[in-house]
Structure 1
Amino acid sequence: MDPFTLPPVAAALDLTYRGLMALTDLLEPVAGAAAAAAAVILVTLLVRTVLIPVGIAQARAERTRARLAPRLAELQRRHRKDPEALQRATMQLYADEGTSPFAGCLPVLAQAPVVSVIYAVFIHQQIAGHGNDLLGQTLAGVPLGTSLAQAIGAGASVPTLAVFAVLVAAIAVVGELTRRAVAPGGLLAPPATGSGGTGAATPPNPLAAPGMQGVMGVLQFMSAAIACVVPLAAGLYLLVTVWWTFGQRVLLRRLFPFGDAVHPARRAA
């Protein structure tokens, strides 16, 4: 059973379709044949703007995790032979701090329905019983409902492959920039020593750990891989999202630096 045929989901799909068509018509005098692609980009920017408070919460959560890292390491040392006790102590620590180990995951979860709806809008021939005119919209001659995998299977032309190549490469580039930025000494990594010349070590960046570096590499590959199999419209959404996320993280890291993640009691001491 197609979940997009369920009445609530179908209604959301139809609403999204009508909104994109209206925005496409509005942008057509300016963007011409690329109006639908521009509409997808504008919708992406709108979604990201709405999620700015969530991004701020994520930056604060990362800073909190950095502050708790030494205490978590101590708990792991103390309970290394008792996983259940370690789990209880870890959750209690997060509870005492008013946070959660899963804090900061909301941006990904919040966007999942949006990505799913945009994906669905560009793969269904019919929506709520009427034809889908968005499937006829293009970007540089490439239908927005076509994926790179489909294009290759159909014997895509060089211009079509070039459009997808630029898209996938741009997503991979920001993934690599992010991986390097969170590495030790990177733009998003904390300094090696505290301010004021005291030489006190700042809390470690949890994203700079060797394991997390591997995760970042996998995520980079996954983002580029996803762009190869989803419709071009969804790929545009992904492209704008990853670049926005990178820029937002750079800005928020300056506003909420890891170097300020010292526990208030310790700072007073």
Structure 2
Amino acid sequence: MSVFASLVERLADLLQPIFATTATAAAIVLFTMAVRLAIHPLSRASARGQKARTRLAPELAALRKKHAKNPERLRKAVTELHAREKVSPFAGILPSLLQAPAFLLMYHLFSGDRMAGHSLFAAPLGDHWADALSHGGVFGPAGRVYLVVFALVAAVATFSYRRTKAQLAAQPLDLGQPTPGAGAITKVMPLLSFATLITVAVVPLAAALYVVTSTTWTAVERALLFRTDRTEGGEGAGGVPGAVATRA
């Protein structure tokens, strides 16, 4: 982890002439973007997996209708379909899980004591929102920085919420078999986009910058990936042919 810390520090030194006292904050943003760019192939693999599952959606729906009264036969038929088409039922999920180690590493890097003495304008990178509230309140110097961060997070979350809701409307969540409570999950899933607001409120500002940058990258990346799909193949909502795209 010290290697990554050194990289951020060196990048901050390079950015010092341009960003002055906010050079470390700019380095965090750029370093996060570099990491997301490095794992972009995983996001593309996730998108391909989602399209593979989407392609089989009509056949899966037909199987569920045919074997509605025989869950065991349905499970076997779905397994055979996946095997015949060489599609994993976890397509689109595993690539996203592989990103977790990188995300955890970045979080710990930006939430440690290394950020002491660095700031984003009037807000110290090692402080929390509670610290900003106790030193000037919501509209104090540090509080105003957080207001801008929250506004950006809310905008990205709203975009992701609308996109996910539209995708779920185009094709309900496919859990592989009839599942009690699937309707409730479908309603709650789009709201998870706003969980980032809670994260930003409780982690140090340096870690919050990582979260904001990463979630914004995810929203833009998925929009571009599936926008390309829509223009090339005329697919449905969100660029996937009637698909629901899990977040990368």
Q: TM-score, normalised by structure 2?
A: 0.77
Amino acid in the other structure paired with 1:162: R
Contact kept in structure 2, 1:66 and 1:206, CA below 8 Å: no
Which letter maps to 2:200?
A
How many residues align? The count is: 226
Paired letter, 2:149: L
Partner amino acid, structure 1, of 2:155 = V
CA deviation profile, 1:129-188 (whole Å, cap 9, x unmatched)? xxx3x3221101212122224544x4454222222222122122112112223444xxx7
The range that moved more, 31-40 or 247-256, is: 247-256
Distance in 1 (CA, whole Å) between partners of 2:21 and 2:191 is: 35
**Distance apart, 1:206 and its partner CA:** 5.0
For 1:195, the equivalent position in structure 2 comes to none
Check 1:117–1:145 CA distance in 2 against 1; reply closer, same or farther (3 A cut): farther
Q: Would the aligned equivalents of 2:158 and 2:194 in 1 still touch at CA under 8 Å?
A: no
* Structure (1 or 2) with the larger CA radius of gyration: 1
Query: Relative to 1, partners in 2 of residues 1:235 and 1:94: Cα closer, same or farther, differing over 3 Å?
Result: farther
Q: Distance in 1 between matches of 2:71 and 2:153?
A: 39
Q: Is 1:55 equivalent to 2:36 in the alignment? A: no
* Alignment match of 1:255 (pick from 210, 214, 228): 228
**Is residue 172 of structure 1 aligned with residue 154 of structure 2?**
yes
**Which blocks of at least 5 consecutive residues in structure 1 are unaligned?**
1-12, 126-131, 191-203, 263-269
**Cα 1:165/1:106, change in 2 over 3 Å:** farther
Q: Relative to 1, partners in 2 of residues 1:62 and 1:122: Cα closer, same or farther, differing over 3 Å? A: closer
Alignment root-mean-square deviation, CA: 3.0
Distance 1:160 1:84 in 2: 59
Residues of 1 paired with 2:76 and 2:92: CA distance?
Answer: 21
Q: CA deviation at 1:46?
A: 0.8
SS of equivalent residue, structure 1 residue 75: helix
1:215–1:87 distance in 2 versus 1, CA, 3 Å: farther
* C-alpha distance in structure 1 between counterparts of 2:128 and 2:77, whole Å: 47
SS at match of 2:82: helix
1:135 aligns with 2:132: no
Residue among 97, 115, 128 paired with 2:85 = 97
Hey, what's the Cα distance between the residues in 2 that align with 1:210 and 1:24? 47
Aligned-partner Cα distance in 2 for 1:149–1:102: 40
How far did 1:259 drift?
4.1
Provide structure 2 residue ranges, at least 5 long, that are not aligned to the other structure.
175-181, 242-248
> 1:61 offset after TM fit, Å?
2.1
Identity, % of aligned positions: 37
Tell me, yes or no, if the aligned pair for 1:119 and 1:231 is still in contact at 8 Å. no
Which whole-Å deviations, capped at 9, do the CAs of 1:80-117 have from their partners, x for residues lacking one? 34444433433332232222232223454243223322
